[in-house]
Amino acid sequence: MAQTSSRVKRSPSTQDKPQGLTRGALSPRTAHLCIDMQELFRAETAWHTPWMEKVLPEIVKIAEAHPAQSIFTRFIPPAEPTEMSGSWRAFYERWREMTRNHLNPALLELVEPLREIARTATVIDKRYFSPFHGTNLAALLRQREVDTLVVTGAETDMCVLAAVLDGVDQGLRIVIPVDALCSSSDEMHEALLALYRTRFSCQIETSNTDVILTQWER
């Protein structure tokens, strides 16, 4: 969800080496939280996220391996800015073209093949960056006794960031496959990975998709 007109279109960093999970294997109480993998961000819109195609195969691997444990979110803008208050109204005044009255509704759908996988999974619509705000996500995770979230999707430095930090505040173990996140900015993507690995190293682990899948019990 780019907020500036200048967007970096390079590939995600290839400098990350696969790392094992520092706290060991993932338990059966792990859930996959996939953030906003929608046509809204894949298509050539004002919020186009160039890396999405590159990370999609990795997200598909996780979702196909654990469909029942996958939760997909969709970012749903208001019909008009006046539906929102405060800085959110200002945000949508800036991005009026991305409000629902100006969008093709098909852009709100998940991208394929995730849309098909989601038919037997859980889909949560959200109006804010964090999927924990204004939704039943926290209650759903408690009901399922989830203790760990594998977080994927878009964008590393916006909605994924909000999800990760709120997940930390929920007391969840957070695992991030670095090859299954995308952003509009290489610089911010790398900065967030560095933040997770240093300031949040007790609560957030980073690795890659293949390593995580080998350490996730079915």
- Nearest to residue 117, comparing CAs of 28, 40, 1, 32? 32
Report whether pLDDT(14) > 50.
no
Residue 9 lies in a domain: no
Residue 163 lies in a domain: yes
Report whether pLDDT(18) > 70.
no
Residue 196 lies in a domain: yes
Residue 203 lies in a domain: yes
* Domain span holding position 55: 30-77+111-214
Residue 103 lies in a domain: no
| Interval 57-66: pLDDT, tens | 999 999 999 9
| Interval 192-214: pLDDT, tens | 999 999 999 999 999 999 999 99
Under DSSP, is residue 171 helix (H, G, I), strand (E, B) or coil?
coil
Q: Return the H-helix or E-strand segment holding 18.
A: none
Q: Residue 171 belongs to a domain with what CATH number?
A: 3.40.50.850
Residue 89 lies in a domain: no
Q: Work out how many domains the chain is built from and give that number.
A: 1
Residue 133 lies in a domain: yes
Given a contact cutoff of 8 angstroms between Cβ atoms, the answer to whether 181 and 55 are in contact is yes
What is the pTM for the complete model shown? Answer: 0.92
